[in-house]
Amino acid sequence: MKPASPIAHRVRRGFGVLSNTVYPLRPLSLFPRPSSHVFIHPHPSQCAKRHNSSAASPRDDGLKAKASAITNEASISLSDQVRLLMRRVPYPVAIITATDPSGPPETSFRGMTVSSFSTVTLTPHPVISFNVRRPSETLSALLASRRFLVHLLAPGPATATLARDFSKGNATLSAMLKGHGEFELAALDSGNEQRPLPILKRRGSGDSPGEDFPFVFECTLHPEKIDVHDHSIILGSVIRTIEGSKHSEQDSRVDEHAPDRLCLTYANTKFWKMGGEI
């Protein structure tokens, strides 16, 4: 019997030799067992056909689109993602007005548009809320006076333009005070010694806000205020409601469920009039 060669000896010890280099061998348990199925390689023409069909398959196109979407989504911040998604949610539009108690009476009115108006509770007394981005002259005025008005708007081109103008700052107020535009700010007498609050109405419409403003809430500032980053959540207790367009109960022409009775909304950077019932 011949003595074992150095190579065989190394194989038994778990090493193999290739070009004078020693490599470890894998344990046999890591190798798959031989399959009992015989694989028949297809004809080259079939391989080419399969390769071409796979390259243009809808599945690959879907995967590419999904990968592209993931890449684009990863490049957008979470704040922008939420902002773009929340554009699809309609919000009620409201114009908040207040009076600056420290300014001259002829230039003390303030106003702004918000799309975050909502009721918080109705009992034991109604409380509403909205959000304001700081700094804000209107926010400073209502914090100082602790009183403000909430105007809800009827859906229409004129009220939508008014809401957009009030979202650009108090430059709209100076134009109104000079007699420009379809609307004006009138002094709402609350029956006390405080300065009157500014109520919106169409020029020449009398004392009522009219059909452009279905209702107005007169509010006092709630003791609690919440500051979140660059915004403040304002709470107000409703002390009076002022209806702009009143109808008698016997008026059969008024449909309480008609879309025209719903207020102006905002979504996807545009103002909207609500449609029909689903």
| 214 domain residue, yes or no | yes
pLDDT tens by residue, 107-132: 889 999 999 999 999 999 999 999 99
Query: What is residue 180's predicted lDDT score, i.e. its pLDDT?
Result: 85
In a domain, 177, yes or no: yes
- Total domains in the fold of the chain: 1
Q: Is residue 86 part of a domain?
A: no
Give tens-digit pLDDT for 68-89: 665 565 688 999 999 999 999 9
User: Is residue 254 assigned to a domain?
Assistant: no
Instruction: Give the range of the structural domain holding residue 126, as residue numbers without chain letter.
Output: 91-246+261-266
234 in a domain, yes or no? yes
Residue 223: φ, ψ to 5°:
-60, -30
- Please check whether residue 62 lies inside any domain of the structure: no
Q: Dump pLDDT digits (tens) for 148-190.
A: 999 999 999 999 999 999 998 777 777 887 888 899 999 997 7
3-state secondary structure 56-120: CCHHHHHHHHHHHHHHHHHCCCHHHHHHHHHCCCCEECEEEEEECCCCCHHHCEEEEEECCCEEE
Q: Is 112 a member of any domain?
A: yes
Output the domain CATH number for residue 111.
2.30.110.10
Answer whether residue 49 is part of any domain: no
What gap in Å lies between CA 277 and CA 208, rounded to an integer? Answer: 30
pTM summary value? 0.69
